[in-house]
Amino acid sequence: MVGETSQTIVVAGGSLAGHTVVTELERHGFAGQIVWVRGREGTAPYSRPALSKELIQGKVTAETIRLPVPQPYGPRVRIMDGAVCAGLDPHADRVLVTQPDLSERWIDFDALFVCTGTQARVPEAFAGLPGVHSLRTLADAERIKDRLAVRPRTVVVGAGLVGSEMAASLRSCGLPVELIVQGQLPMEAVFGAELGRFCLERHHANGVTTRLGATVTALTAEGPVTLTYDDGESSTADMVVLGLGAVTSCDWLDGCGLDLSDGLGCDEALRTARPNILAAGDVANWRHPLFGHRMRVEHWSNASAQARHAVESWLAGQEGRQPPAFADVPYFWSDQYGLKYQMVGHARGHDEVHVEEAGTGGYPFVTYLRGGRIVAAAGVNAPRAVMRMKARIQADLAGDPTSEEVYAR
């Protein structure tokens, strides 16, 4: 048993980070009450990465992607589905919650875990247009899926992780797909030019057409959707899917006095300036002790690792121990056309790239170096090589934390 029966912990956010905080508190036998405000989606937590992969392709259903619950929640867990945190008074340790019937109430807490993640970036002018979709939630994915039977001519705008995966999945469903790439290569911001080129070739080999160096400046939806580009050209589509990145869900914290410069600012142990308010997942911005600079990581495994860590930090504080720093090396994967892309580390600030072949298929394997040290690695169908690099990066950087100034240059 940890904590006291009189204590209340509020967990804001009903996806992986929130789910993991709640299950960790339960696993530790937290004696107090947990109020879990799960957000507008109104669903039990599910695998978000599956949305743009297996779910769109019809290989799984909403039921089969639910996150497993190790054991039924105890009686002291109060789940508030459809409710959102709408405000925070950090000096009085209370959070304002708007319930589904729009009534509001303040809830006092002893600790607050902020796990409100991110939401799809949708420019105001593109919001709510018929035939235009973004993809963040199960409901978004099901709306897109409902349209697939008529094989709509589809344009995917944006070639980051979600845009590239959607182009691949929709093409795998037999749809005619055009991918709009703002730069010259898909996923270039994540992987750099070498893997970006490989990614582009895979799209072309699978029949996706691309429009490179193009920015959509306007969308009009009268019948088919018309897309206008920055060079004055235009095209039409039956369905448009926006993959324009994500913005943090922090607006409910506006004016609370905590650092909101990019997500919710935390120390190395994931505590905000108020040590009983912690953050985990896509929303958390912390200083990574190995990379030596602040970062926010929008990856699945980071959300669960940080949630476990945030609980550990809080427990350490309760027991008068020094909370540990969160030093996991970031990792993500992406599935496209039957290939698994994986990346470990953080390539920001790299000044050297090595490309070789690894794994089955002899696909490119890229290592990113800074100052002669490996800071990241990425490969295709090469899980062992990627995971070996994770251990190496951890060990290499452990001896040499780099200053923020180096990265700023």
Ligand X SMILES: Cc1cc2nc3c(=O)[nH]c(=O)nc-3n(C[C@H](O)[C@H](O)[C@H](O)COP(=O)(O)OP(=O)(O)OC[C@H]3O[C@@H](n4cnc5c(N)ncnc54)[C@H](O)[C@@H]3O)c2cc1C
Contacting positions for ligand X (CB under 6 A): 12-18, 37, 39-41, 48-49, 51-52, 84-85, 115-118, 135-136, 162, 249, 252, 281-282, 298-300, 303, 332-334
Q: How far is the CB of 37 from ligand X (least distance, A)?
A: 5
Comparing CB distances to ligand X, the nearer of 49 and 158 is: 49
Closest approach of ligand X to the CB of residue 138, in Å: 10
Beta-ladder partners of 149: none
Q: How far is the CB of 400 from ligand X (least distance, A)?
A: 26
Least separation in angstroms between CB 5 and ligand X? 25
**How distant, in Å, are the alpha carbons of 23, 54, 72, 377 from that of 64?**
19, 11, 17, 32
Which lies closer to ligand X via its Cβ, residue 38 or residue 402?
38
Closest CA to 21 of 77, 86, 63: 77
User: In whole angstroms, what is the distance from residue 2 CA to residue 97 CA?
Assistant: 26
DSSP string, 270-322: SB-SSTTEEE-GGGEEEEETTTTEEE----HHHHHHHHHHHHHHHHHHHTTPP
By C-beta, is 116 or 154 nearer to ligand X?
Answer: 116
**What residue type is assigned to position 385 of the chain?**
A
By C-beta, is 117 or 265 nearer to ligand X?
117
Count of Cβ atoms closer than 10 Å to residue 369 Cβ: 17
Report the alpha-carbon distance of residue 391 to residue 371 in Å, rounded. 19
Coil, strand or helix at 226: strand
Spatial CA neighbour of 295 closest among 243, 347, 251: 347
Minimum gap (Å) between residue 187 Cβ and ligand X: 12
Contact 21, 113 (CB under 8 A): yes
- Closest approach of ligand X to the CB of residue 90, in Å: 15
What letters, b where the CB count within 10 A reaches 16 and e where it falls short, cover 151-161? Answer: ebbbbbbbbbb
To ligand X, the closest distance from the beta carbon of 228 in angstroms equals 26
